[in-house]
Chains A and B, each alone.
Chain A
Amino acid sequence: MKKSLLMIGVVIVLLLMSGSVLFAGEKDYRVGCVFAITGKASWLGEPEMKTVEMIAREINEAGGINGHKLKLFIEDSQGDNTRAVNAVKKLIKKNNVCAIIGPSRSGTSMAVIPIVQKAQIPLISCAGAEVIVVPVEERKWVFKTPQKDSDCVRRIYEHMIEKGIKDIGIISGTTGFGNAGRKQLKDIAAEYKINIVADETYSPADTDMTAQLVKIKNAGAMALVNWSIVPAQSIVPQNMKHLKMDIQLYQSHGFGNVKYAKAAGAAGNGIIFPAGRLLAVDSLPDDNPQKAVLLGYKNKYETKFNETVSTFGGHAYDSLWLVANALKAVGDNPEKIREQLEKSELVGTGGIFKLSPMDHNGLDKTAFEMLTVQDGKFVVLKD
């Protein structure tokens, strides 16, 4: 009896070790990815995963980087902070990656920052909140490719001023992205002399925002900004329609997957939101410096996966190219990659990046284009 128990113990230990041996070996460039591939934020993570897999294959078919193959370790955070924390630990400790791309969401990104800071591994987040890379002194190892939420707020407010809208309501998800956006909306309002008359929130699991919308309706808001990243955001336009609220609805750049518009159905028509040029590539003039990159990515993605491209996949595209270019320039030493990232320039899908030690994002508000929803499709806003 005891002998067989001992044997079982030995086998278990051997199996545990075999897991780590399996992946070790050749001198590949190892890059980790953490995306919300399944779960409530799968409309972010899924296109991100498809994009990095597509680009990595392309790079490897062209002979890799400096003769090294690019090996991606992709983890699914399920949009869950704790899973993301564990995934990043696993990538660093088990897979020995030299850089990490992701996570997809602001909350998950904030959650993993202390780990990469401590482990000294560069991380390029694919999430929207500006606080991910600010203050830069405390974010030495953290970068991000999506446009800043403060710039998104500015573009929305500029549009409101043009339309003569002064009193607005805001409603945000109680997630990392939602909280950060809510703070920016409130902080920047005074700059544009905009008056926030109602400030409501909803949790990602909520299914009915009637109570919040009734309050916003009674507060006399002339427009509503809905700032969220999860599918619950598409319930807001539906509830508004049911309550016969006909004020203008603005969304954040967290609305950049056409599936959100589809989930909102007919109620989604007329929503206005700022987003990267990827979604409006067809209406760009040919001399736009981004056009070639955008068309290239869009065509490749849409033919390969037979689905409409989203800005989220674009963020992963930009992140992976930043890392790939850095690997090409300095090899796979994390510290050198970090230094290289701080002086990177890239014409990407999110805009024209110009990173610096003081700016770990490298985009400004001109990276945005105002879009609107028309019959379940995104089109450039005409006026």
Chain B
Amino acid sequence: MNTGGGFSDFLQFIFMGLQRGSIYALVAMGFNIIYNSTGLINFAQGEFVVLGGLMMVTLTMTLSLPMPVAFVITVLFVMIMGILMERLTINPVKSPSVMRLIIITIAVSIIIKGLAMIFWGKESHFMRHFSSEETFEIFGATILPQTLWIIGILVLVVICFILFFNYTMTGKSMRACAINRDAARLTGINDRNMVMLSFALSAGIGAIAGIIITPIIQMDYARGALLGLKGFGAAVVGGLGNSLGAVVAGILLGVIEALGGGYISSHYMDAMALLIMLVVLFIRPSGIFGSVEASRLKEF
């Protein structure tokens, strides 16, 4: 019987927090990619996560495809959904108001949710872990191999992200669009394509988040709203548009939630990240890591 108490419990909650936080970080990165290229918050971001998770369940559990193949197919599938969303609903709207754009992305999120409910039903779907389910023990706390997969994939995505935006022509063009769209267009960058690309990338990152978390939390069609909202919380705390800030903030929110759930009340665990988001929004809308000046420049 383990009566390690104190430190090992703390460590256990930290592991749990890292696992949750990595997902928030990925969702927040998805928000930022679209925000940077369009100044738009995509309310359907959480649905990409759900689509990723559910598609992966079908491919691995029903069709018994090998994990890596299913992973690639799922990400491509959700990226196509992202592109479709942009081409069909965002691109055709000329000179939209902020409220209209918000409602359009909400409508898309309802549609995706409705489709997911019809295709996958309302029940939770479970999926086997990427590798063994035998936990390791570290200082009395246990950690699942899946948690290591989650953290590893987050690190990988962040590295790819940095390389893409700093060292490739397309990535640099996207950044140029983010800084000043008109100027970017003058240098010959096709800003409309950049918007489409940002939706594809954002959907892909969402799909990855869904794929890696599903073995642990199971997945159902209605998860999107809360996952999206918490991801947005991470994006806000990290400073909207600041992707590295979002990663740090995401992990931070996850850890705070886990510690709050462990030491205060597990019932209010889901509310904690949201509460922090509200406090940051109200006191410092530019985020903890964002600069106030930068946020003033955005078209709000």
Contact = CB atoms under 8 A, between A and B. Distances in A.
A193 interface: no
B269 interface: yes
B224 to A, nearest CB: 13
A49 B164 CA distance: 54
A218 B16 contact: no
B262 interface: yes
A218 B9 contact: yes
A81 interface: no
B38 interface: no
B142 A211 contact: no
B267 A201 contact: yes
A65 interface: no
B182 interface: no
B266 A218 contact: no
Contact of A211 (B5, B16, B218): B16
Interface in B249-275: 258, 261-262, 266-267, 269
A207 B122 contact: no
A231 interface: yes
Interface string A96-119: 000000000000000000000000
Contacts of B126: 263, 265
Given A38-B122, A218-B9, A242 B142 contact: yes
Contacts of A243: 12, 135, 142
A211 B126 CA distance: 21
B3 interface: yes
Contacts of A220: 1, 3
B124 interface: yes
A218 B5 contact: yes
A42 B9 contact: no
Interface in A68-114: 78
A322 interface: no
A202 interface: yes
Interface string A224-246: 00000001000100000111100
A359 interface: no
B121 interface: yes
Interface string B117-130: 00001111010100
Interface string B125-139: 010100001010100
A40 interface: yes
A207 B217 contact: yes
B216 A42 contact: no
A210 B135 contact: no
B220 to A, nearest CB: 8
A381 B269 CA distance: 37
B267 A231 contact: no
Contacts of A201: 267
A28 interface: no
Interface in A38-56: 38-40, 42-43
Nearest to B128: A265
B24 to A, nearest CB: 14
Nearest to B263: A211
A280 interface: no
A231 B123 contact: yes
A244 B135 contact: yes
A210 B122 contact: no
B144 interface: yes
Interface string A242-268: 111000000000000000000101100
A212 interface: yes
B71 interface: no
B95 interface: no
B3 A218 contact: yes
A214 B262 contact: yes
B142 A214 contact: no
Contacts of A364: none
B285 to A, nearest CB: 29
A266 B137 contact: no
A208 interface: yes
A209 B9 CA distance: 14
A82 B266 CA distance: 26
A207 B125 CA distance: 12
A203 interface: yes
Nearest to A264: B126
B187 interface: no
Contacts of A209: 266
Given A211-B16, A263-B126, A242 B135 contact: yes
A200 interface: yes
Given A40-B123, A242-B144, A210 B1 contact: no
A231 B219 CA distance: 12
A217 interface: yes
Nearest to A263: B126
Given A211-B13, A211-B258, A244-B137, A203 B267 contact: yes
Interface in B240-297: 258, 261-262, 266-267, 269
13 contacts: A38-B123, A40-B122, A40-B124, A42-B121, A207-B216, A207-B217, A210-B12, A210-B262, A211-B266, A242-B142, A242-B144, A265-B126, A265-B133
Given A200-B266, A210-B262, A244-B2, 4 more contacts: A78-B122, A207-B218, A242-B135, A265-B133
Interface of A: 38-40, 42-43, 78, 174, 200-203, 206-212, 214, 217-218, 220, 231, 235, 241-244, 263, 265-266
Report the 10 A-B pairs with minimum CB-CB distance, sorted nearest first.
A207-B217, A211-B262, A211-B261, A211-B266, A38-B122, A39-B122, A242-B135, A231-B124, A210-B16, A42-B123
